[in-house]
Amino acid sequence: MKTFYIFAPIFIINLLSCSFSEKKQGYIIMNTVFSDYKGTLEFKKKATQKESRYKSMLDSIKLEIDLIPISIKNKSEKRDSLIKLYNQTYSKIADFNKSFVESEELKIWSQINQYVSEFGKERDYDLIFGANGNGSIMYADSSLNITPEVLKYINEKYSGK
């Protein structure tokens, strides 16, 4: 019985240390994942195209405004209405862009989170931390940084591979 009391704690300590040492953990740098994710890059390309179309629309209204001489009285009313149209259009575009960007960023983060979760399950990770520079991870050994591996995985998932 004395042998049990001697070896039981040793067995428990060994069991606990084995279970803790088998935990697979890593971290990803969130800003890098977001900015280099193909979904984000594709969104930026679409946003740039939309912005270009809106700029063209505003430029054509501005050109019409500039072509109307200020000194001619009946043309002044048309000029004023075009200026009003320009300002309204500009405001609508700005509001739309803001809500569009926020909405798309939420979708992108949702997709990234899903892919990271799948990555963790497929690669048997117990825990994946997200390092985003706000103090949630103050230090981690660089050997735990799995950002490139995760980024490759999520971009392949996004591309349908």
pLDDT band at 154 (very low <50, low <70, confident <90, very high): very high
Mean pLDDT confidence for 6-17:
50
Phi–psi pair at 28, nearest 5 degrees:
-125, 145
What value does the mean pLDDT of the chain take?
Answer: 81
Q: Which residues contact 27 (CB under 8 A, 6 or more apart)?
A: 128, 129, 130, 131, 137, 140, 144, 145, 146, 147
Q: What is the pTM of this model?
A: 0.69
Rounded to an integer, what distance in angstroms lies between the CA atom of residue 156 and that of residue 28? 17
Is the pLDDT confidence value at 83 over 80?
yes
pLDDT tens for each residue of 24-65: 888 898 999 999 999 999 999 998 898 889 889 889 888 888
Residue 134 has pLDDT above 70, yes or no: no
Which pLDDT score is estimated for 149?
A: 93
**What is the percent of the chain where pLDDT is above 70?**
78
CATH 3.30.70.920 matches 24-158: no
* Long-range contacts of the stretch 34-37 (C-beta < 8 A, 24+): 34/108, 34/109, 34/112, 36/151, 36/155, 37/108, 37/112, 37/151, 37/154, 37/155, 37/158
Structural domain boundaries in the chain: 24-158
Please give the pLDDT value at position 4.
Answer: 42
